[in-house]
Amino acid sequence: MPLYESEITKFLRSLKEQRPHLEDAQQSGRRLLWDRDPLDLDQLQRSQEIRVKQKPYVYQPD
């Protein structure tokens, strides 16, 4: 007895069969938008040191 397969799953499966390069394009887009370079710890420390501290209640007048 076959398992249930939704129409969306069938559509995605047929789309990937028709366009085999699609998954590679998805991965390259993901790398472009989400994968970041490793952090430079010295630069991170410097940026934290020069940051201006925020007051606990920003709406209170001086």
d(C-alpha 53, C-alpha 23), whole Å: 45
- pLDDT tens-place string over residues 1-60: 578 999 999 999 999 999 999 999 989 988 888 887 787 899 989 988 999 888 888 787
User: Which pLDDT does position 33 carry in this prediction?
Assistant: 84
d(C-alpha 29, C-alpha 22), whole Å: 11
User: Which pLDDT does position 55 carry in this prediction?
Assistant: 81
Q: What is the pTM of this model?
A: 0.46
Run of H or E including 51: none
Contact 14, 22 (CB under 8 A): no
Closest CA to 44 of 36, 56, 35: 36
d(C-alpha 31, C-alpha 29), whole Å: 5
Q: Is the pLDDT of residue 62 over 80?
A: no
User: Which pLDDT does position 36 carry in this prediction?
Assistant: 79
